[in-house]
Amino acid sequence: MTETVHLEVADGVGVIRLDRPPMNALDIALQDRLRELAEEVSGRDDVRAVVVWGGEKVFAAGADIKEMQVMDHAAMVARGRGLQDAFTAIARIPKPVVAAVTGYALGGGCELALCADYRIAAENAKLGQPEILLGVIPGAGGTQRLPRLIGPSKAKDLIFTGRMVKADEALSLGLVDRVVPADEVYAQAHAWAARLAKGPAIALRGAKEAVDAGLETDIDTGLSIERGWFAGLFATEDREVGMRSFVEEGPGKAKFR
């Protein structure tokens, strides 16, 4: 079987590369492979930050509709959790994750980008949740992650209409975080990841978990999560290195192990 997702690791950065031409349609095999690779990079000490990348032309144009068309209610009930689990595995990678978005990121492709911590999009990128045009709704987290990111009314506009947005509008909505020329997307995403790969791994994990878990609860519980991580990091070598470097050399010069 042809591998539709690849993992390359170098210098602390793991690149999860979708490779199912021409549009990186997210069939079941690709979804399951995404979950496997998300679990792999989560456990690998040599991966400290992650890039999700669809290639120079397209991020992912959505689910494999031909595969989905033949599924009845019972089949989707059986598959729905596996679909969501694949995307949730990406969202729960306990390391910084950046999506490098070129071309189309529609439906499941948009939902995959939503699972990243940061999104860098090409000037020619188009994003959206067009599932309503097929008579269904987003099923891989779009109705949950999109409103948490851009707010409920803006998310409902995209989900209700199914319309695509160009990169500039996606930036104004907060759907992406940076827009750059198409030939710079991967380089800038990799540079973002490479910079964080040199940071304090446990503190970055704590920061991500505190933000993500805190968003799902009340402020007091969120502060308790933050407090636990903050105090716990005082037991790490990175905390000793960081504070010693600050006192002796000034800010931003620590070399974390």
Residue 54 phi, psi dihedral angles, 5° rounding? -105, 0
Residues in the chain predicted with pLDDT less than 50, given as ranges, are none
Would you state the pLDDT for residue 2? 73
List 39, 67, 111, 248, catalytic entry: 111
Distance of CA 235 to the CA centre of its chain: 29
CA-atom Rg of the chain in angstroms: 19
**pLDDT tens digits, 175-215:** 999 999 999 999 999 999 999 999 999 999 999 999 999 99
Map residue 138 onto helix, strand or coil: coil
216 a catalytic residue: no
pLDDT of residue 1: 53
Reply yes or no on whether 131 is catalytic: yes
For the chain, list the domains and their CATH numbers. 5-197 (3.90.226.10), 201-249 (1.10.12.10)
Q: Which residue of the set 131, 184, 209, 249 is catalytic?
A: 131
pTM across the whole model: 0.95
Q: Helix, strand or coil for residue 181?
A: coil
Name every residue whose Cβ is closer than 8 Å to that of residue 64 and which is 6 or more positions away in sequence: 25, 26, 27, 28
Q: What is the model's pLDDT at position 3? A: 87
